Chain A
Amino acid sequence: MKLMNKTLLSAAMAVALTSTAAHADLSDDKVKIGVLADMGGVYADVCGKGCLTAVEMAVEDFGGSVLGKKIEIVSADDQNKPDVGSAIVREWIESKEVDVVTGLVASSVTGAVTKVTTDNKKIALIAASASNAFTTKACSPYNAHWTYNVVALANGTVKPIVQSGKKKWFFITADYAFGHALEGIASKVIKAEGGEVVGAVRAPLGTTDFSSYILQAQASGAEVVGLANAGADFVNSLKTAAEFGLTEMMDVAGLLVFTPNAKALDPAIAGGMLTTTGFYWDRDDASREWSARFKARQGVIPAMPHAGAYSATMHYLNAVKAAGTDDSDTVMKLMKSTKPDDFFAKNATLRSDGRMVHDMYLVRITKASERKSEDDIFKIESVIPGDKAFAPVLPACDFK
C-alpha cells in the first residue's frame, strides 16, 4: 500500500510536471520585455542604452528562454516626454505583445506609463525614477519600484548630517516635480531631527548659471546647502558653488548623485561630499564581477539604475519560471513572496506596495589622492538598512 501510494504520487507529480512544461501558460506563447528609457537626452547616461544593455544581460544570464519559450526584448526612446512614453507603451501592449515594461527614468514619464500598464494589468519594473509617488499617491498592484526613491535619498544623506550637528539648511532646488518632492521630504527629515530650513531657491530645470543662487545661499547664514537637483543641474550648481568659495564656507550635500555626474566633476570640487546611492559597482566581488561585464559591453561603469534594471528583470523572470505563467497577478504575487537576492539586491524584499526595499549606501565622493582609477568615484561610508531608508507601507497601497 505504501509502495502503491508512493508510485501514485510520483506518477501524479510526473503528470503535473509535464503538464506544466507542455502547457506553460504564456500569453502569445512568449515573454516579451519592453525597455523604455531616455536614449539621447539629459538622462541618457543614467538610464538610456545602458538600461537596455542591463536587461539584455539579465536575459542572457537567465538562459535566453523561460518555460521553453524565447524571451524577447523591445526598446524605445521616450525623449523624457510623458505623452511619447505612454503612447509607445500602449502600442507595445496592444499590438506588440509586451508583457512587462522596465527602464523608466523621468518620473513624469513613469507616471504616465504606469497608468497604461496598470489599466492593462501589466507589470512596470521602475528602475530609474526618483519620485516616491509610484508606491504612494499613484500606487498600483502592478508597480515594482526598484532602485531608490526620494525618501531614501533624503533619509540617507540628510539625516546623518543633521544628527552631526549641522542644523541650518538652505536648498537649491530644481523647479519641477522631482526637485520639489526631494526638497519637501528632506525638509521634513531636517525638522524631525530638530533642524531648520532657513531658505530655498527654485532654479529652473536646465539652468546654466547658478551664480546668483549661490550668492543667495551664501547670504542665508545656513550651515549646509542641499542641492535638490540632478544631472547637469547638480554638476553646474556644485561647480559654481566651489568657484564662489561657498564650499569653503559651508557644507554642500548633493541629494541625488549618479556616478556619471560625479565623474564629470573635478575631484578637487566634489571630493568629500556625502550622498546616498542604491548601488555602487565596487562594493563586493559580485558587484565588481557584474560591473566588469557591463563595462565590457557599455564602455562605462554601471550607474545604480543599470544594476537595478538587471536585478528587477532577473527577479521577474525567476517569478515567471516559478509560477509557470506570465499572468501579471500570479507573477507579482510570487515576486512579492520571494526575496530578490543578487549582486544588487541585499537584504531585499519587494513589499506589498511595490516598493523594493533593500540596503542603501551612504557614500563619499573620493578625493583625487584616493582615486586608484578613473572609476574610483565613491567610497562606501555606511550601509543604510532598507527599513531605515524607505517610508512604511501606506494602508491604501497595501496590495496583498
Chain B
Amino acid sequence: MATFLGINLFGLFGQLLVGLINGSFYALLSLGLAIIFGLLKIINFAQGAIYMLGAFGAYLALQYLGIGYWAALIVVPLVVGLLGILMERFLIRPIANEDHLYSLLLTFGVALVLQGLFTHMFGSSGLSYAIPDALKGGTKLPFMYLPNYRAWIIIASLIVCVGTWWMIEKTKLGAYLRAGTENPALMQAFGINVPLMVTLTFGFGVALAGFAGVMAAPVYSVSPDMGSNILIVVFAIVVIGGMGSIGGAIITGLGMGIVEGLTKYFYPEASNTVIFLVMVVVLLIKPAGLFGKEA
C-alpha cells in the first residue's frame, strides 16, 4: 500500500472522497438555507424537518402511489416546495415585519411539530428505501470501492448547486430577485410582484431540502429525527460560509464535508465537533463568515 509520512494514502483518498459525498448533502441543504436567508432574511429552522419530509415523501410515494425513485426526484421536491409556499403564505408572512427571531421560533416550532407527527405515525426506528436498480453496484477504484449511488450524489448535487448559483447570480430573473429583496418598494414601482417572488423563492429554497431528502432516502435510514441531526451542522456551515452567501454556502458545504472526512480518518471521536470548532475560529477572525460581506 502507498504510504506517505506514515499515512496510508489509499485510506486518506477514500476518506476525502467520502467527505466530498457528505459535503454534497451539506451543500444542498445549506444552499437552501442561504437562499432563504440571503434573499428573504428568514432563518428557516424547519429546513431539517423538510429534508426529512423529502425522504418520507420518497418512501410514501413508492409505497402508496407506486412512484419510483426517478419520478420522486422531481415530484417530491415540487410537493414539498408547495408545502413551503403554503407555509410562507399563511405562517411566515403575517410575521414578516417582526424581528427575525419570530420567524426563527415559528419555523423551529413547525420543525418540532412535523418531527413529532412523523414519530407518531411511523415510529422512531426508521424505514427502508432501496437504491434504484440503475445505480446499484459500484466501481472499484484503486483506493476504495465507490458505490454508484454515492457517485451519483456528487454529480446530482453539483448540477443542482451550480445551476442554482448561476440562476441567481447570472440571470435576469436572479437580478430581479436580488433587487426585489434589496429594495422591495422600488421594484414594486417597476411593476414587479415582490410578494409573489418572495413566496416562490421560499418555495424553491424549501424544495432544495426536499430534493436532498429524496437523495438521502436510499442511503440513510428514513426516520423522523434525520433532519434534526443534520440541521445544526448545516447551520454551522451557513455561518462559516457567511449568512446569505450563495456561492459561499456551496463551497463551504463541500469543504466542511472534506474537513469532516479528514477528521474521521485522523481522530474519529472529534468528527462531529470539528465543524463547530471551525465555526468558532471563523467567527473570531471573520465574523461575517468566509464569503460574507461585512455588514
Contact surface of A with B, Cβ cutoff 8 Å? 40-46, 48, 175, 201-204, 206-209, 211-213, 215-216, 218-219, 231-232, 235-236, 239-240, 243-245, 258, 260-261, 263-266, 268, 300
Contacts and interface: CB of A to CB of B under 8 A. Distances in A.
A210 B10 CA distance: 18
A42 B123 CA distance: 9
B264 A213 contact: yes
Contacts of B189: none
B268 A201 contact: yes
A266 B128 CA distance: 6
Contacts of A245: 138, 145, 147
Nearest to B15: A212
Interface of B: 8, 10-11, 14-15, 18-19, 21-22, 116, 119-120, 123-128, 130-131, 138, 144-145, 147, 149-150, 219-221, 223, 225-226, 229-230, 261, 264-265, 268-269, 271-272
7 contacts: A212-B14, A212-B264, A216-B11, A216-B265, A232-B126, A263-B125, A268-B130
Contacts of B150: 211, 243
A300 B10 CA distance: 45
Contacts of A201: 268
Contacts of A300: 123
Given A201-B268, A212-B19, 14 more contacts: A202-B269, A206-B225, A208-B226, A212-B14, A212-B271, A215-B11, A215-B15, A235-B125, A236-B221, A239-B219, A243-B149, A244-B145, A264-B125, A264-B127
B119 A208 contact: no
Nearest to B265: A212
A81 to B, nearest CB: 15
Nearest to A204: B272
Contacts of A243: 131, 138, 147, 149-150, 219
A42 B126 CA distance: 10
Contacts of A231: 124-125
A260 B125 contact: yes
Contacts of A204: 269, 271-272
Contact of B229 (A206, A258, A268): A206
B219 A44 contact: no
B108 to A, nearest CB: 17
B128 A209 contact: no
A244 B124 CA distance: 25
Given A211-B150, A243-B150, A260 B272 contact: no
Contacts of B261: 212
Contacts of B271: 204, 212
A213 B19 CA distance: 12
Nearest to B226: A208
A215 B14 contact: yes
Contacts of B123: 44-45, 260, 300
- The CB with the most chain B CB atoms within 10 A, among A201, A203, A209, A216, is that of A209
A212 B119 contact: no
A245 B119 CA distance: 31
Contacts of B264: 212-213
Contacts of B149: 243
Given A236-B220, A261-B125, A264-B126, A219 B21 contact: no
B229 A208 contact: yes
Contact of B225 (A42, A263, A266): A42
A213 B125 CA distance: 21
A227 to B, nearest CB: 14
Contacts of B145: 218, 244-245
A175 B267 CA distance: 13
A46 B18 CA distance: 32
A365 to B, nearest CB: 13
A212 B18 contact: yes
Contacts of A212: 14-15, 18-19, 261, 264-265, 268, 271
A303 to B, nearest CB: 9
B144 to A, nearest CB: 6
Contact of B147 (A41, A43, A45, A244): A244
Contacts of B120: 40
Given A203-B268, A204-B271, A209 B22 contact: yes
Given A212-B261, A236-B221, A266-B130, A219 B125 contact: no
A337 B219 CA distance: 50
B89 to A, nearest CB: 30
A75 to B, nearest CB: 16
